[in-house]
Amino acid sequence: MTQATHLVERVAPSLARPGGRPVWAGGLAAAASWGAAALVTKALPNAVPYGSDDLFAILVGGGAVAFAGLAVAGPRSGRLREMLDHYGPWFIAIGVWLTLWEFSTAKTGWLPKPFFSAPTGLLHVYVSDWQRLLICVGYSLRLWALGFGLGALFGYVGGVALGWSKPFAYWGMPILKLIGPVPATAWIPVTFYFFPTTFDASVFIVALASGIPVMILTSSGVASVNRAYYDVGRNLGAGPWYLVSRIAIPSALPHTFVGLFMGLYYSFAVLVVAEMLGAKYGLGWYIQFQTNYSGYANVYATIVIMSLICAGLVKLLFVVRDRLLGWQEGFI
Amino acid sequence: MPPQASALRAPPAVARRNVAIEIRGVSQTFDLRGTALPVLEDIDLAVAPGEFVALLGPSGCGKSTLLRLVSGLDRPTAGTIAADGVIVEGPDPSRILVFQDPTLFPWASVWNNVATGLDARGVLDRQRGRVDDALKLVGLSGFARAYPHQLSGGMAQRAALARALVNDPALLLLDEPLGKLDSLTRLTLQGELLALWRAKGFTALLVTHDVEEAVLLSSRVIVLSERPARIKAEFAVDLAYPRHRDNPKVVELRRRILGTLGLET
C-alpha cells in the first residue's frame, strides 16, 4: 500500500499535466482480473493436473503487474493511451475468462478431461511440444503460400483473359461456371491419382480453392470497366496492351481484392483438409494425429495457433489492399 | 500517323497546330435490336483551320455521335470525314474528344491522368515537362498529386482539358464539356476555354445546349434538326473577342438562334 502511494507521488507531475486523463482505471481492473487468474492457479489445489501451473501463474501474474504499471505510470494522453482505453474492457474480460476457465477445469474438474483442457494444459502443450508444432507451422505455411500464391496468380491471369478476350470468355466462362461451384475438396480422390506426391496434390487443391473466386471476380471486374475509359485511351493513342495493363487491370482491382479475400478464407478451410490426407507434417496433420490419441489439449493449442496465423494473413492482405486502393473515394 | 509524329517533335508553344475538317455526306444509323435508327442524315460541313464551330440542336439529335465520328472512335455508315484532306479511319491523338464527364481514371493521380497520352505513345520519359506545362496552363499545378475524387467538378474538367492539351491536338472536340458544372464555374471555364483556343490556335468543334455559350465562344453556330439530324441553319458570329452577354448583337443573335430551334422569345 505504501509502495503504491509512493508510486502515485512520483508520477504526480504527469497527473497534473493539462489535457491529460486520470489514471487508467481499466488497467487496474485488468490487473485485478489477471491477478485473480494467477491467484486461482497458484493458491487452489488441482483437482485435475495439467502441468505448467507455475509458468502460467508467472505469465498471467506478470500481465497483471504490467497492467497495473501502465495504469499508474503509463501515458495520460496520446495514441498509446487511446489504444489502452479502447481495449481496456477486452483486457479485463480475458482475465475473467482465464480465471473461470482454470477454475472450472483444473481446479474443480467440472469440465472433464480429455474433452476439455485448462489454460495451463494448452500452455503445457506449447512448452512440451513446441519443436514439433514449429515444424508443423512451417509445413502449413509452405503449403499455404504455394497453394494460395499459385491460385491467386493463375486466377488473376485467367480472370483478366476471361474478362478481356471474347474467345477466352466464349470457351472459358461455361467451364468456369461448371467448375466454380464444386467444392475444391471434391477433387481430392482424382488429384491423388494425377499428381506424383500428396504434397503436389495438396498444393493443387489449395490453389483451386483460392484461384476460382479470384478468377470469377477479376473477370467480372475487367468486363465491367467503364467503356468511356477505353475511348479516352484509344483517343490518346493507346494500343491494346496499354488498354489492358493500364486501364482494365487497375479499374478491376477493387473486384480482384474481393476475390482475393474470398480465396484467402477458402484456402484456410481447404488447407487443413488437404493436410489430413497423408501429409507428413502440418497443423492439419497434427490435429488429426492428436485426435487419434485423444490429445484434445494439443488440438485446442493448435487451433489457437491457426486462428492467429489466419487472422495475421487476413490483416496482411488488408494492409496490401489499403496501399493499392487508396485512390478510391471515401476508402480510408 | 506520320503527320502526328512530326508534330510531337515540334516545340509545342511555337507552332500553332490546327487542321481543316471536311464532313461530306455523312450519315449514321444505329441498329437497335434489328430496327434501324437513323441518327445523322447527309451532313455536309467544312471547318476551316483554327475555326471555332458550335453545334446546337435538340437533345438526343445526334450531335455527340457526329463528334465521335470526327474523332474516329466510330465509323460513319455513309459519307467521309477528312482531316486536312486525309480520310479519318480511326482515333488519333491529334483530334481529341473531351466528354461531358471528365472521365479521369480514378486510380491515377491528376499528373498521371494528364500524362496518359504521352505514356501510351511511349514518349513520357523524354517529355515529362509537357505534363507540368499542361497542368500550369489550366491552373492545376498544385493538384498534380491529388486523386480525381478530391477535385471539384470544375477542377476535374480542367484536368480533362489538360489531358487533351498535353498532346498538342490540332482539333479539340468538346462534347458539352461544361454541361454539368454550376453556372459560376461554367462562366469561368468558358473564359478559360476561349483563352486557350486563342493562345493555341487549334480548331474547335463544340457541342452545347447553351445558345449563349455558343454565341459567346464560336465563330460559327450550326443548328441541327431533330433526329435524324440535318443541318438546319447556320449563323456566322462576326464579333470581336471577348464578347459580353449584354452586347445587343449577342442578344439579337441569341434570339434568332432560339427562333430556329422553335423557342421564340
| Whole-structure pTM value | 0.81
CB B53 within 8 A of CB B173: no
pLDDT at A20: 66
Per cent of chain B over pLDDT 90 is 60
Give the separation between CA A59 and CA B176, rounded to whole angstroms: 71
Which residue, chain included where needed, has cell 503460400?
A145
Instruction: Report which DSSP code applies to A332.
Output: -
Cα end-to-end distance, chain B, whole Å: 48
pLDDT single digits (tens) B56-87: 988 777 888 999 999 999 999 999 999 998 99
Q: Rounded CA gap, A179 and A213, in Å?
A: 11
A213-244 residue pLDDT tens: 999 999 999 999 999 999 999 999 999 999 99
Residue A292, classified by CB atoms within 10 Å of its CB into exposed (0-12), middle (13-18) or buried (19+), is: exposed
Confirm if A103 and A47 have CB atoms less than 8 A apart. Answer: no
Cell numbers found for residue A126? 506449447
Closest to B237 in 3D by CA, of B52, B59, B97, B103: B52
Q: With CB atoms and an 8 Å threshold, state whether B163 touches A239.
A: no
- pLDDT of res. A151: 96
The C-alpha atoms of residue A272 and residue A213 are separated, in whole angstroms, by 19
pLDDT at residue number A12: 47
> Which pLDDT score is estimated for B7?
43
What's the pLDDT at B11? 43
DSSP line for A52-91:
-HHHHHHHHHHHHHHHHHHHHHS-SSSHHHHHHHHHHHHH
* Chain B residue numbers touching A328 (CB-CB < 8 A): 106, 149
What distance in Å separates residue B211's CA from the closest CA in chain A? 27
pLDDT computed for residue B264 by the predictor? 62
pLDDT of residue B10: 42
Instruction: Output the pLDDT for position B4.
Output: 45
pLDDT at site B6: 43
Class of domain B2-260: alpha beta
Q: What's the per-residue H, E or C state across chain B?
A: CHHHHHHHHCCCCCCCCCCCEEEEEEEEEEEECCEEEEEEEEEEEEECCCCEEEEECCCCCCHHHHHHHHHCCCCCCEEEEEECCEECCCCECCEEEECCCCCCCCCCCHHHHHCHHHHHCCCHHHCHHHHHHHHHHCCCHHHCCCCHHHCCHHHHHHHHHHHHHCCCCCEEEEECCCCCCCHHHHHHHHHHHHHHHHHHCCEEEEECCCHHHHHHHCCEEEEECCCCECEEEEEECCCCCCCCCCCHHHHHHHHHHHHHCCCCC
Contact B101 A228 (CB under 8 A): yes
**Candidate from B97, B106, B120 with C-beta closest to A238:** B120
**8 Å CB contact between A53 and A46:** yes
pLDDT digits (tens, 9 = 90+) for B132-156: 999 998 889 999 999 999 999 899 9
Taking a C-beta distance cutoff of 8 angstroms, is the pair B161, B98 a contact? yes
Domains and CATH numbers, chain A: 2-112 (no CATH), 129-324 (1.10.3720.10)
Backbone dihedral region of A330: left (phi > 0), alpha (psi from -120 to 50 degrees) or beta? left
Q: What is the ipTM score, two decimals?
A: 0.88
Q: Which residues of A touch B2 (CB under 8 A)?
A: none
In whole angstroms, give the CA distance from residue B250 to residue B237. 9
Torsions phi, psi for B247 (to 5 deg): -55, 125
- Contacts with A222 from chain B: Cβ below 8 Å: none
- The pLDDT score that the predictor gives to residue B137 is 87
In the DSSP assignment, the letter for residue A45 is P
How far is C-alpha A60 from the geometric centre of its chain's CA atoms? Answer: 23
| Residue written as grid cell 487451433 | A303
Q: Is residue B96 within 8 angstroms of chain A, CB to CB?
A: yes
- Residues of chain A with confidence (pLDDT) below 50: 1-2, 4-5, 7-9, 11-16, 18, 332
Residue extents of the structural domains in chain B = 2-260
Q: Dump pLDDT digits (tens) for B104-128.
A: 999 999 999 999 999 999 989 999 9
Instruction: Tally C-beta pairs within 8 A across A and B.
Output: 67
Distances (CA, A) of A13 to A7, A79, B24: 12, 20, 88
Residues of B in contact with A226 (CB under 8 A): 103
CA distance B155 to A161: 36
Does B166 score more than 50 pLDDT?
yes
Counting every residue written for chain B, the total comes to 265
Look at residue B248 and tell me whether its pLDDT is greater than 70: yes
User: By CB neighbour count within 10 A (0-12 exposed, 13-18 middle, 19+ buried), where does A185 fall?
Assistant: middle
Average pLDDT over residues B215-225: 92
How far away is chain B from the Cα of A320, in angstroms, using its nearest Cα?
Answer: 15
